[in-house]
């Protein structure tokens, strides 16, 4: 029976840490070790970790991140791990009790060393039992070839995946230079070495939303520069698997989404991304937003719509 190492980066996650660790303990004997790498927390995270370590000395390990950032913490935890499979998990998320076992049951029926497997993720805000949205998108709720999965262009999230360490050895560790889309870049890179991307509907992760300290909430310019870098890397990964009209459109849509998000705040970055969209042959992606914004975009064009939105927002805040 293959065994699993769970690796959790933590920074000031004391409020949610116990729920996260309890969900790891509840996975059963398929989990060999739960490795928490604390990223220099200033709350009472360490006291919580010491209590768990004292109660579960054979299972719980914790370290202080010798570097800085979630990717460095994941990499350090991976180097300390000994399991055949790696479960990366954020410290504010929660695994459903049969998450890992369900995925292992599928993997054990095949040559699993070059296979990636993901599952369902449910967004919640206050308590993990109150999920208000289940992902991923229906188009990737099935077994796919890596190129098909990437071109579909729909998100999964870190805790959904279960990864054999053989794929990480081939694909490399987490990119510690990235502040945004770290998991998107990491798993896209591993897909270059995978034969299949499997889906397990019984494997569920409860994904906390609305946490102001989460990576996805960082919108400062350095984070946007990092996001743009990740898109360029993913472009290369997709083209290494397939260079086709559908691949070009998928990549162009990613850049167009970046353009919409940065046209006002980071116009130079948006201009570069817009040039990539044109180079790739254009995008069909419509401006996201509410009914009024979409109406303005249809009537005046998306650039004027975003400019008007900025003026209205600035006036409301003044």
DSSP letter string, 59-78: TEEEEE-SSSSHHHHHHHHH
Strand 133-135 vs strand 115-124: parallel, antiparallel, or unpaired? antiparallel
- In total, the chain counts a number of residues equal to 318
**What pLDDT, on a 0 to 100 scale, did the predictor assign at position 44?**
96
Instruction: Report the sign of the C-alpha dihedral through residues 308, 311, 315, 317, in that order.
Output: positive
Residue with tokens 């995008």: 283
**93 touches 18 (CB < 8 A):** no
Grouping H, G, I as helix, E, B as strand and the rest as coil, residue 50 is helix
Question: In the chain, which residue ranges form alpha helices assigned H by DSSP?
Answer: 14-25, 45-55, 70-80, 99-107, 146-152, 165-171, 182-190, 221-241, 245-262, 267-279, 291-300, 302-317
DSSP lists the bridge partners of residue 10 as 38
Residue with tokens 């870049």: 185
Which DSSP symbol is given to 154?
-
Give me the phi and psi of 87, to 5 degrees please.
-110, 105
Strand 4-10 vs strand 31-38: parallel, antiparallel, or unpaired? parallel
Question: What is the full per-residue pLDDT of the chain (318 aa) written as tens digits?
Answer: 689 999 999 999 999 999 999 999 999 999 999 999 999 999 999 999 999 999 999 999 999 998 889 999 999 999 999 999 999 999 999 999 999 999 999 999 888 899 999 999 999 988 878 889 999 999 999 999 999 999 999 989 999 999 999 999 999 999 999 999 999 999 999 999 999 999 999 999 999 887 655 554 456 999 999 999 999 999 999 999 999 999 999 999 999 999 999 999 999 999 999 999 999 999 999 999 999 999 999 999 999 999 999 998 887 776
How many helices (H) and strands (E) the chain has is answered by 12, 9
Among 118, 197, 107, 204, which Cα is nearest to 161's? Answer: 118
Separation in Å, CA 3 to CA 100, 133, 261: 10, 31, 41
Burial of 283 (0-12, 13-18, 19+ CB in 10 A): buried
Residue with tokens 């719509």: 305
- Peptide bond just before 136 cis, omega within 30 deg: yes
| 146 token code pair | 């890596």
**What pLDDT, on a 0 to 100 scale, did the predictor assign at position 1?**
65
**What pLDDT, on a 0 to 100 scale, did the predictor assign at position 110?**
87
CB-based contacts of 29, cutoff 8 Å, min separation 6 = none
**196 touches 150 (CB < 8 A):** no
Neighbouring C-beta atoms of residue 121, cutoff 10 Å: 22
**What pLDDT, on a 0 to 100 scale, did the predictor assign at position 217?**
47
| 81 token code pair | 């791990």
Residue with tokens 């990740």: 230
């Amino acid at each position: 029976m293959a065994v699993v190492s769970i690796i959790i980066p933590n920074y000031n996650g004391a409020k949610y840490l116990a729920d996260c660790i309890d969900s790891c303990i509840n996975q059963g004997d398929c989990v060999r070790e739960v490795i928490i790498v604390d990223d220099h927390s200033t709350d009472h995270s360490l006291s919580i970790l010491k209590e768990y370590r004292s109660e579960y000395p054979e299972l719980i390990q914790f370290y202080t991140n010798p570097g800085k950032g979630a990717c460095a913490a994941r990499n350090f935890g991976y180097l300390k791990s000994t399991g055949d499979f790696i479960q990366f998990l954020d410290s504010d998320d929660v695994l459903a009790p049969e998450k890992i076992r369900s995925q292992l049951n599928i993997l054990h029926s095949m040559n699993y060393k070059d296979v990636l497997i993901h599952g369902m993720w449910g967004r919640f805000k206050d308590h993990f039992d109150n999920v208000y949205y289940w992902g991923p998108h229906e188009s990737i709720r099935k077994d796919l070839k890596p190129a098909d999965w990437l071109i579909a262009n729909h998100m999964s999230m870190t805790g959904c995946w279960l990864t054999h360490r053989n794929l990480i050895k081939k694909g490399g560790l987490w990119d510690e230079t990235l502040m945004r889309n770290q998991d998107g870049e990491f798993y896209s890179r591993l897909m270059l070495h995978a034969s299949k991307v499997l889906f397990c509907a019984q494997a569920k992760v409860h994904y906390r939303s609305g946490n102001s300290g989460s990576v996805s909430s960082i919108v400062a310019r350095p984070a946007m520069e990092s996001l743009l870098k990740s898109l360029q890397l993913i472009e290369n990964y997709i083209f290494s698997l397939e260079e086709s009209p559908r691949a070009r459109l998928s990549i162009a849509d990613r850049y167009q989404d970046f353009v919409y998000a940065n046209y006002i705040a980071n116009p130079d970055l948006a201009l570069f991304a817009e040039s990539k969209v044109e180079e790739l042959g254009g995008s069909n992606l419509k401006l996201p937003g509410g009914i009024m914004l979409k109406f303005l975009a249809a009537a005046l064009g998306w650039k004027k719509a975003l400019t008007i939105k900025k003026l209205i927002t600035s006036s409301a805040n003044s």
